[in-house]
Amino acid sequence: MQFMKMKSSLLVLLSVLGMQFACAQSSSLSSSPYSLYGLGVPNETGVGIINALGKLGFAMPSLTNINDKNPASLGRMTQKSFLFDVGIKAQRETVINSFVEETRFNANFSNISLAFPISEKSGVGITLIPFTNVGYVLLGIETNIEGTTDTFFTNVNGAGGLNDFKFSYGYSVTDSFRVGASGSILFGTIDETETNFIDDTALIITEENHYSGFRFDVGLQYDWSERTSFGLNAKFPTLLNGSQSRTIETLGTATITTREEDNNLPDFELPLEVGFGFISNFLTNKLTINADYQHSFWDSTDQRDYLGEYVDQHQFGMGLSYRKNGRALKYWDRIFYRVGFNYDSGNLKVNDYRVENYTLSTGVGLPISSRTNSMLNISYSYGQKGRVSNGLIQENFHLLTLNFSFDGKWFVKRRYD
């Protein structure tokens, strides 16, 4: 009965948070001008501790924290444990071009995740996390009217993005070898409003672009020794189906004209992505080092955008974590201290220049209880995307993430009622 009550409460909590998350995603989760490109900018935050450790982590286990980067990690979970993670993020960024500098701020949910074992050798996980983020504003674009010397002005506003609802399963083939698979339902809406001002008339074009699809990925992990493990993950190519609802309004001095259209959008192709990495422990498990690499094969999609072209993407991530003694009586000795670095070559090339991204991170894991592995994971990241040259825009951003990572126990009988 106790298990059923806990299970029901958690499902209700996940449903409520999921609805809030979906509503939040319908508004702007980004303020990057690069989100005008494609389906928006890829989500740059993850689940739990990974935000401070280089953003990747294909070899990390799911013993006390959920690793949603590799489903094989779910094959090695502590029995009777239940892991739950909910995160929020806040970002302040400065956008710089050759003429102006502007500061923007946004904050929202970053993820909702849970994982638990279903046998001695297997576990499952469920995660809801943003897949892409869109948020841009273009004001005062001046355009010549063809055949005349007159001009008109345009304002463009975009918001929304896609979500990733993922179900994962991991299985331990042997004590040192694990395999796993994940299925992701990708869905979301990107809204764009274009307002054109011509003399005393305003032409307003509102578009709701809907995308949905399914993506499958597999992973494996191998423990080379008690101290070192390796991980591999592959996400398979897929097509996202698109549809569009468009409303065109003409506002004059005395009349309002409205026309509605429904259109099919070209499918958007996601490429094959392959990542691998390792994690190793030193100083009697006090110090942990992880390093990872991921290659996204965008060249093979043969897709283009009117802003630029898609190119193969390379990501490198490294992280270092230190904790003096997890069983110490002193609280400060049980805190995790973390630093990380990530380089992302980007999948966009504009004017023959890549939009690269460099990120430095630091963070702490603050124990919530001395009897469980529940933790408040805090990370701060500073990064730079793009450059102020060749028609590009540079973004300098400060990102703060808070992840509440809870470790509960199932099927544990109370001694006293």
Which of the residue ranges 78-82, 143-147, 154-158, 198-202 would you say has the lowest mean pLDDT?
143-147
Question: CA-CA distance, 243 to 188, in Å (whole number)?
Answer: 11
pLDDT of residue 4: 41
pLDDT digits (tens, 9 = 90+) for 160-172: 999 999 999 999 9
- In this prediction, residue 159 carries a pLDDT of 92
Give the separation between CA 278 and CA 221, rounded to whole angstroms. Answer: 9
Virtual torsion, Cα 127, 401, 61, 123, nearest 10 deg: -20
In a domain, 291, yes or no: yes
Task: Work out the mean pLDDT of the chain and round it to a whole number.
Answer: 88
Quote the pLDDT of residue 242.
95
Q: Is residue 416 part of a domain?
A: no
pLDDT value of residue 25? 45
Give the separation between CA 311 and CA 109, rounded to whole angstroms: 30
pLDDT at residue number 67: 96
Provide, rounded to the nearest whole percent, the portion of the chain with pLDDT above 70. 89
Q: CA–CA separation, 169 vs 179, rounded Å?
A: 9
Q: What is the mean pLDDT of residues 48-61?
A: 95
Specify if 415 maps to a domain: no
The band of 22, judged by pLDDT with boundaries at 50, 70 and 90, is very low
What confidence tens digit (pLDDT) does each residue in 196-248 have?
888 888 889 999 999 999 999 999 999 999 999 999 999 999 999 999 999 99
Q: What's the structural domain count of the chain?
A: 1
Q: Which of 113, 111, 93, 110 is nearest to 35 (CA)?
A: 93
- By the 10 Å C-beta count (0-12 exposed, 13-18 middle, 19+ buried), 4 is classed as exposed
Q: What is the pLDDT of residue 353?
A: 86
pLDDT value at residue 263: 87
Range of the domain at 64: 2-409
Report whether pLDDT(315) > 90: yes
Tell me the CATH number at 54.
2.40.160.60
In-domain check, residue 228: yes
| Contact criterion met (CB below 8 Å) for 47 and 66 | yes
Largest separation between any pair of C-alpha atoms in the chain: 87
Which of the 8 DSSP states describes residue 9? H
pLDDT for position 101:
83
Higher pLDDT, residue 280 or 306: 280
More confident residue, 302 or 271: 271
